[in-house]
């Protein structure tokens, strides 16, 4: 009797957060259908190279039953055999009886398990790249919209010189551009395990082809092409080198560090009430404090990103502890690590896109914060203007120093607004430049080349990187975020 779904543990990565596409990619249906596809590809290639006993009817039955998986039958077989691959060989043979004798011919379990993992990971990278492209495009639009809006910059989370809202967001955009490059590289560099035999020597296939080395090499090439890869690893043990897992998971963990940084910045800015992530009409921020609007999406990104950051250590340690031609202690951890890496990255990307597509900017709050700090920043401009009118720089500097300390005391000790400019207006010494104060305090003159940097970066780097995805970006893309 089946257990009620609420009476057993279910990973929240699937049940609560992940997209249907990514959850389906790492489902048993996809995994075992991929195994069957690999068995079919092997049979097609073996037959093409002259191996007898493989009929057209056998291959057609295999093709017709790729997705016809009887899990009950296979589970019973696995209980008896204690071997998942052989249970599936049996299950496939039951629905494709004309092929039963030649399924898995010459192969080892890792022919299907490893090659299927590589095929699924490459498809996973495609899904992630496509979603990241939409994330980058959404953030690009935000950067352009706010490229000219001055905002107070922070170093050490202390007030610094001004930047713009768009320029600050372009720092996030740059990190995501690097992640796009890394994911593309991982996808393009990924190689197939191929047809290598039990310890990687291809001995079983050499026997099948009566010592014909050329046909064994052709078999490897044919199956690789039939499975959608351009190149297979030149040598393997029983498994493909687990360094390939490192090359896939490392860019995902690196992306997680980008996402964590972005989400943390948004949380800080939300606390300052300058920027806010989307907040639904009926959303509740706190069960006790009705006024709260918590940045729960950004908090989720930080939470899941921390998990994704750690997963590369699993891959690295697995690579480091493989003995000779292989050891099975890689199996269980890879069943957990690889799907979770892709599912988590998928969830984080969806959440980022949701935020960037509806991020709210409170310009009045930003302007008010600038007005509190700008007087101190403008003092050098005022000194230079006074010197231009014939004043002594040292004397002017002393006047500014005294008035600045007085104003700082009002802010820090008495909790009042920064009144430095008012003090300057009331000091007769500064009469020569009073008519220029408004110009000297114009925040747009303190942002340097921030707007131009944003425009140049997007034109020369971002747009070029997105150009190959123009058709994809032309389609409507929405990312719903579950509670």
- As annotated, the active-site residues are 156, 286
- For residue 275, the SS3 value is strand
Tokens of 174: 């740059």
178 vs 161: CA distance, rounded Å: 26
Q: Which residues pair with 232 in a beta bridge?
A: 192
Q: How far is CA 340 from CA 124, 302, 311, 409, in A?
A: 12, 16, 8, 53
DSSP-based three-state secondary structure for 283: coil
Residues 6+ apart with CB under 8 A from 46: 54, 102, 105, 106, 208, 219
What whole-number distance in Å separates Cα of residue 423 and Cα of residue 320? 67
Do the beta carbons of residue 300 and residue 351 sit within 8 Å?
A: yes
- Between the two ends of the chain, the Cα-to-Cα distance in Å is 31
CA distance 152 to 160: 7
CA 117 – CA 393 distance, rounded (Å): 71
Helices (H), 359-392: 363-377, 379-388
What distance in Å separates the CA atoms of residue 369 and residue 365, rounded to the nearest whole number? 6
Q: Residue for token digits 């009886």?
A: 97
């Amino acid at each position: 009797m089946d257990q009620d779904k609420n009476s057993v543990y279910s990973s929240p990565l699937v049940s609560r957060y992940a997209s249907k596409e990514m959850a389906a990619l790492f489902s048993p249906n996809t995994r075992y259908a991929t195994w069957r596809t690999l068995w079919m590809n092997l049979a097609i290639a073996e037959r093409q190279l002259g191996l007898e006993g493989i009929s057209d009817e056998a291959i057609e039955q295999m093709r017709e039953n790729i997705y016809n998986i009887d899990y009950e039958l296979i589970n019973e077989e696995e209980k008896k055999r204690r071997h998942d691959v052989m249970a599936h060989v049996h299950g496939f043979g039951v629905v494709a009886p004309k092929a039963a004798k030649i399924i898995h011919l010459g192969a080892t379990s890792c022919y299907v398990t490893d090659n299927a993992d590589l095929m699924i990971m490459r498809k996973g990278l495609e899904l992630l790249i496509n979603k990241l492209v939409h994330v980058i495009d959404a953030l690009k639009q935000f950067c352009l919209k706010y490229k000219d809006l001055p905002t107070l910059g922070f170093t050490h989370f202390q007030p610094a010189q001004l930047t713009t809202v768009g320029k600050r967001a372009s720092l996030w955009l740059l990190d995501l551009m690097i992640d796009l490059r890394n994911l593309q590289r991982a996808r393009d560099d990924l190689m197939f395990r191929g047809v290598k035999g039990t310890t990687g020597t291809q001995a079983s296939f050499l026997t099948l082809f009566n010592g014909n080395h050329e046909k064994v090499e052709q078999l490897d090439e044919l199956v690789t092409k039939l499975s959608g890869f351009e190149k297979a690893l030149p040598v393997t043990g029983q498994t493909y080198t687990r360094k390939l897992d490192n090359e896939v998971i490392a860019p995902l963990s690196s992306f997680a560090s980008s996402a964590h940084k972005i989400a943390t910045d948004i949380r800080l800015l939300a606390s300052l009430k300058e920027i806010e992530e989307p907040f639904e009409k009926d959303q509740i921020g706190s069960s006790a404090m009705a006024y709260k609007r918590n940045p729960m999406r950004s908090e989720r990104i930080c939470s899941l990103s921390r998990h994704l950051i750690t997963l590369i250590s699993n891959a690295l340690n697995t690579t480091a502890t493989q003995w000779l031609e292989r050891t099975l202690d890689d199996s269980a951890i890879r069943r957990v690590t690889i799907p979770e890496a892709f599912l988590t990255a998928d969830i984080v990307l969806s959440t980022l896109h949701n935020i960037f597509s509806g991020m709210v900017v409170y310009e009045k709050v930003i302007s008010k914060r600038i007005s509190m700090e700008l007087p101190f920043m403008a003092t050098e401009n005022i000194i230079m203007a006074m010197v231009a009118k014939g004043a002594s720089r040292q004397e002017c500097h002393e006047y500014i120093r005294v008035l600045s300390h007085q104003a700082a005391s009002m802010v820090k000790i008495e909790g009042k607004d920064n009144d430095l400019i008012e003090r300057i207006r009331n000091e007769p010494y500064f009469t020569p430049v009073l008519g220029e104060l408004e110009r000297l305090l114009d925040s747009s003159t303190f942002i340097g080349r921030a707007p131009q940097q944003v425009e140049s970066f997007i034109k020369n780097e971002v747009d070029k990187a997105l150009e190959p995805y123009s058709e994809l970006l032309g389609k409507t893309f929405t990312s719903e975020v579950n509670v």
